[in-house]
A and B are shown apart, each in its own frame.
Chain A
Amino acid sequence: MAVSFGIVGLLGTRLKKLEYGGWIAVGFAAAAMIVGLLVAAAEMLSPGSYTDQSFTWLHLPGSPGTFPNGFSLVMGSLVDPISALMLLVVTVVGFLVMLYSIGYMHHDHGLPRYYAELSLFLAAMTGLVIADNLLEFFLFWELVGVCSYFLIGFYYEKPSAASAAKEAFLVTRIGDVLFLLGIFLYFTVYATAGGGAGWAASGFKFVSGSTPFLAGAMGGNTPLLTVAGLMMLAGAAGKSAQFPLHAWLPDAMEGPTTVSALIHAATMVAAGVYLLVIASLFLGFTPDDRLAIVAVGGFTTFFAATMAVVHPDIKRVIAYSTISQLGYMVLGVGAGFAMVGMYHLFTHAFFKALLFLAAGSVIHAVGTQDLFKMGGLRKPMRVTAIAFAVGALSLSGIPPFAGFFSKDDVLSSVYTAAQSNPAYWPFLILAYATVFLTAYYIFRAWFLAFSGDKSRDPTLPAAHEGPWTMQVPLYVLSALAIVAGVLPFTPSFGSLFSLGGATSVPPTYGTTDLVLSSVSVGLGLGGILLARALWGNGRVYVLAPDSALQPMRTILLERYYIKAGYDWVGLRIVYGGSRVADFFERYVIDGTIHGFERLGTKLSNGLREGQTGLVSDYASYVVAGVIGLLILLLFVAPLIIASLGGP
């Protein structure tokens, strides 16, 4: 099953590249979705089963001391509960976005490129999900990265899009390199130690037959493992746009909205979280690692949410929200409940894709992303308004929408972890504060775009709903954004969240703790009410120019000057370093080479003087040469032979 899926996914891309229309891409995406659903269903029917199909790609002989059996690099596909779950998310959202693209991208140029890249992305993403070993995972990880780069730069004529693509590529690259180093480190540690030796020798595979290599079996809690875990965190932070590698994601909004929905909200950025989940299950994090993960997640959650509060661009508000929600997932993993992170990933994929697609509808209709130009869109765009509201409610964690359950699980898992380690408390508080901010910023966006009587910028075209291809995904995703939170409560679906008994099924947390839940719901509602008071009914809340909050707003709009800091580092340090290198290259290396060249020229010029063209001169050289040889032969050679003790 999984193998056939891989073939469909991979070959599909090639076929699609030959074709023009997006319908072929949609067809393949639909096929992928059906396979994804079937895989998930099969997994649910036999809970906790592992299907692994792989072949050895290359085998390195080992040394007798440390590696008696050598090392095999395998390629294969693995269907286990989490990959089935992730497959479900990727293919469903992938199909819906692909369908939506038909309507949304209708007027754009370069459609074959778009569909080919999007298909390649889907194939790579599914490959990543079903990869059965860490190195294969890394390969696909790079592939989705490069697809992201392509698609962010889809409007490559725009300098901002091109530079955003480059930025995304470079920033995630930092994480990728560290991730690779982390793999090496794990290899080094596990190659020699206990239960992990089998894991390392079998080519980083996640399973051995039908038994997962779980972190417990590998054991060990060494400083080296902590560092390796931090490398994993860095890799995940690059991909999932966690602080301090977060800056690329808002800029990635230069790509088409569909791309933002699929890659930069639902799937690729979630790959970082998926990596953390996998790493925590199969490789194991030390307590220090976990604290670092919680710190990164908690801080990013809050930090990104604050930036979303003031931004005027509808897509960037949602992008910051994505960073913030990814922070929640990281929090869940860091708190020691990897499946809670997966749970939030699962619900978030649906409601965030919904938000992006709804925002896409708005952008498609009015042709601007500036919230302050929109307004009154509720009437002409009823479906979109409702869909956006559903997504926003889910994001804000209002029951019974999906976001409520998963976000609550994250919060309560951090709460549980904080019981044993007080260092987690500040991040729990940050996470709660973010609940309030989240509700506020997303409803600020909703009120700005949809409430009121008419748009604030009279030059905007009259809004209209998109074609059916754009509406159907909104319906489906709205439904999912409502029910996705409850799905894991059903025993069969819930089995996707359990992995070899290593983690608890999420619904045992959160919902039982009424106090924690009501606090978060209360904060969410408070945020919504504040947004309504400030921005409701088409009002625009203008901050007084002399307000004490003004400098703060500037800082937030400037993204805490982190981007500027990056630029500074890039310009001064990297560019300066390059200048030094350039100087070295130019004057020291080239200077040496040119010196030799000039020496050669001088010598040749000297020799050239001898080339008179006169036959008699040449003849005299010959004669001189012969005489010289004779002298050598008759007088010098006997001396040398005599000195060597010869005859």
Chain B
Amino acid sequence: MTDLSVASFLFLSGALLAIGLFGILTRRNFILLLIAVEIAMNAAILNFVYFAAFAGTSQGLSGQAIAVVLVGLAATEIAVGLAIVLALNRQRGSINVGEATTLKL
């Protein structure tokens, strides 16, 4: 663990966030969109894990705890997101978010 510098870990997180954002901005398929959101979120969770590890066992516990909570949060988010996907599919017969634009003025 100690061989790797903080910068390389942060680079990984940044790359994950960029990939997730790219997916969020370009995907029209709702499921792929959700996956992209997950990727971006995992970038954030990873950050918590790194810094908890660097801080050492006594101070890093809270960071690990938050990482676990965030994993749970991501799971609930996906559950709600998939429920929306199902509802959308049932109503419109399509899960293309480009077509679900009726909530505008």
Contacts and interface: CB of A to CB of B under 8 A. Distances in A.
Q: Do A and B come from one complex?
A: yes
Interface of B is mostly: loop
B24 interface: yes
B99 to A, nearest CB: 9
B101 A616 contact: no
A612 B104 contact: yes
A560 to B, nearest CB: 68
Contacts of A615: 33, 97, 100
A613 B25 contact: no
Interface in B46-105: 97-98, 100-105
B104 to A, nearest CB: 4
Interface of A is mostly: helix
Nearest to A615: B97
A604 B104 CA distance: 14
Nearest to A608: B105
B21 interface: yes
Contacts of B98: 614, 616
A623 B101 CA distance: 20
Contacts of B104: 611-613
Interface string A223-236: 00000000000000
B1 to A, nearest CB: 30
Contacts of B24: 616, 619
Nearest to B103: A613
Interface in A581-629: 608, 611-616, 619-620, 623
B12 to A, nearest CB: 20
Contacts, number: 30
Contacts of A619: 21, 24-25
Interface residues of B, number: 15
A546 to B, nearest CB: 83
Contacts of B28: 616
A614 B102 CA distance: 9
Contact of A616 (B97, B103, B105): B97
Contacts of B105: 608, 611
A484 B100 CA distance: 98
Nearest to A613: B101
Contacts of B21: 619, 623
A613 B26 contact: no
B55 to A, nearest CB: 25
A619 B104 CA distance: 15
A629 to B, nearest CB: 15
Nearest to A616: B25
A49 B101 CA distance: 92
Contacts of B97: 614-616
A623 B25 contact: yes
Nearest to A610: B104
A158 B24 CA distance: 78
A284 B77 CA distance: 92
A614 B27 CA distance: 11
B102 A616 contact: no
10 contacts: A612-B101, A612-B104, A613-B100, A614-B101, A615-B97, A616-B25, A616-B26, A616-B33, A619-B21, A620-B25
Given A614-B98, A620-B25, 14 more contacts: A612-B104, A613-B101, A613-B102, A613-B103, A614-B101, A615-B33, A615-B97, A616-B24, A616-B25, A616-B26, A616-B98, A619-B24, A619-B25, A623-B21
Interface of A: 608, 611-616, 619-620, 623
Interface of B: 21, 24-28, 33, 97-98, 100-105
What are the 6 tightest A-B residue pairs by CB atom distance, in nearest-first order?
A613-B101, A613-B104, A611-B104, A615-B97, A619-B24, A620-B25
